[in-house]
Amino acid sequence: MRARRRGKVRPLLAMLGLGALTACALRAPPPAFDCTTSFAAFHAATATTRDAQYHRLDAFPGLRSDRLLAALGPQATSATARRLWLQELAARDREASAIERGNLPAARRRGLPSAEQLESCRQQQVERLARDPQARRQAIAAARVPSDYRRWARLFGLYPLARPAYRRAIAAWQREAAAQQAPADSARWLSYRPPVSHHAPIAPLPHDPLGLPQPGPAQLVALFEHHAPWLQIAPDSAADRLGTPFFDPAGQRRFDDRNATLYRQHGWSRLGQRWYLQLIYQFWFRERPSSHALDLYSGDLDGLLWRVTLDDGGNALLFDAIHPCGCWHAFFLPADSPLRFRQPDGEEQRLARRLALRGDQAATLWLRGGDHALLWVDARRPSSPAGGYRMAALDELRQLPHPQGRHSLYDRRGLVPGTQRLERWLLWPSGVISPGAMRQWGRHASAFVGQAHFDDPDLLGRYFSRPPVPE
């Protein structure tokens, strides 16, 4: 009897053991997460929402660069600076990936590698490069941002033949701009004032291990408020009112001129061996209206970028401005700026004007109606009542509310769709992609003679020098 029971128990124990082994197998950890495959899948899934602000390091998944980091890579020689540089590459990818994921319709986000998984891969990449000098040298080379000029266009467009015509057109505009006189203030000007005027003293700016001035969050806000410009616009039409682009319920881009907005972000520039903090302000207008049937420059959206380069005390060393197409670059020096302008051989001629205002004063920008040309810069404040504008991060335009969730103002090339101008048919031999179209930060090719990029941290160093401080 006992023998029969033992015979029945053994098969039962065997079955229980097999069940336990099966359960263990089901609870076994999944295979290691393949970072290369996962980033490839993520990039394929977000191809339609790819953000153009940063340059992907294709051989180093999880890292992206810009022209600032490309310039910083070779000079990051200490262990602390190298690690900080690598973490900044990872931060650029984290930021852009979140935007690309967020701009996908919700249904298309399912099945993507999670943000946590991709972040784990980024940190693995950072650790690998921190330990491997040869791979890090390859990453420094890969971090160089490609030019926004098309070589084939210059080749087939016979650029050497077009270049003298470009020089003459630029010189004519500069003569007109240099001849401008201070406009008389009157009630006819459309005036905008900053939301806050900050008058508290600015503490000296600390520098990080890469040499960049790094204000704290509150200090950065105070600097933006202190240097925020006033605007005086000679109105010709409703197209001269500040506003903000948005998407309507049908997903079409519209413009709200009841919501005057100053978009802002900060960056850095190098003069000699020193780095300087820069404040970037951007305004939008509904359009540049057509003045006649064959107006080459008219089209949807127009605007202005105003940039303030600061010394370590938070005062302006230099102002410069372009339109969002990358056109009409001009420099303005405060009266007390120690910088010296020089026109380098072979570079596009630039307009540089010394102003009456001091570096601790916020500028008033006087703009012409219609084409929104910057006529004059000084420290006068409007005598008539001024409307206010709000401040917002420039990055908001990379992820605007949309019927499908969120959508970028810009396409994969960093251009604003629908803002192309007729001038592109005359200027394409310059190599600039769609000359006259509105552009995303990091995509402003700003010269038709030679090459220049507005976000190049060494651009100002081509034109300006700072005398040594006497000891």
Domain boundaries, the chain: 35-142, 151-465
| pLDDT for the residue 135 | 97
pLDDT band (50, 70, 90) for residue 447:
very high
pLDDT tens per residue, range 415-428 = 999 999 999 999 99
| pLDDT for the residue 28 | 34
Instruction: Kindly write down the DSSP assignment for every residue of 140-190, as one continuous string.
Output: HHHTSPPPSB-HHHHHHTTHHHHHHHHHHHHHHHHHHHHT--PPPP-TTSE
Residue 198 has pLDDT above 80, yes or no: no
pLDDT, average across residues 23-48: 72
Mean pLDDT for the chain overall: 91
pLDDT band (50, 70, 90) for residue 361:
very high
CA atoms within 13 A on the CB side of 23: 6
Residue 23 has pLDDT above 90, yes or no: no
| pLDDT for the residue 217 | 92
| pLDDT for the residue 2 | 42
pLDDT tens per residue, range 286-312 = 999 998 888 999 999 999 999 999 999
Higher pLDDT pick, 347 / 300: 300
pLDDT, average across residues 317-322: 98
Higher pLDDT pick, 5 / 344: 344
| pLDDT for the residue 29 | 35
pLDDT band (50, 70, 90) for residue 201:
low
For residues 147-161, one letter each, b for 16 or more C-beta atoms within 10 angstroms of the residue's C-beta and e for the rest, the string is ebbbeebbeebebee
pLDDT band (50, 70, 90) for residue 339:
very high
**Lowest mean pLDDT, pick from 7-16, 41-50, 138-147:** 7-16
Amino acid at 302: D
pLDDT tens per residue, range 389-411 = 999 999 999 999 999 999 999 99
| pLDDT for the residue 137 | 97
| DSSP E strand stretches across 217-298 | 230-233, 242-247, 253-256, 261-271, 274-288
Helices 115-131 and 79-102 cross at an angle (nearest 10°) of 160
pLDDT, average across residues 443-451: 96
Residue 123 has pLDDT above 70, yes or no: yes
| pLDDT for the residue 468 | 73
| SS3 state at 119 | helix
Residue 22 has pLDDT above 80, yes or no: no
| pLDDT for the residue 200 | 57
- Can you list the pairs that 368-371 forms with residues at least 24 positions away whose Cβ atoms lie under 8 Å? 368/233, 368/234, 369/233, 369/234, 369/235, 369/236, 369/237, 369/240, 370/236, 370/237, 370/239, 370/240, 370/288, 370/289, 370/291, 371/288, 371/297, 371/302
pLDDT band (50, 70, 90) for residue 199:
low
Residue 195 has pLDDT above 90, yes or no: no
pLDDT tens per residue, range 208-243 = 999 999 999 999 999 999 999 999 999 989 999 999
CB atoms within 10 A of CB 173: 16
pLDDT, average across residues 433-457: 97
Question: Is the full-model pTM beyond 0.95?
Answer: no
Percent of the chain with pLDDT over 90: 82
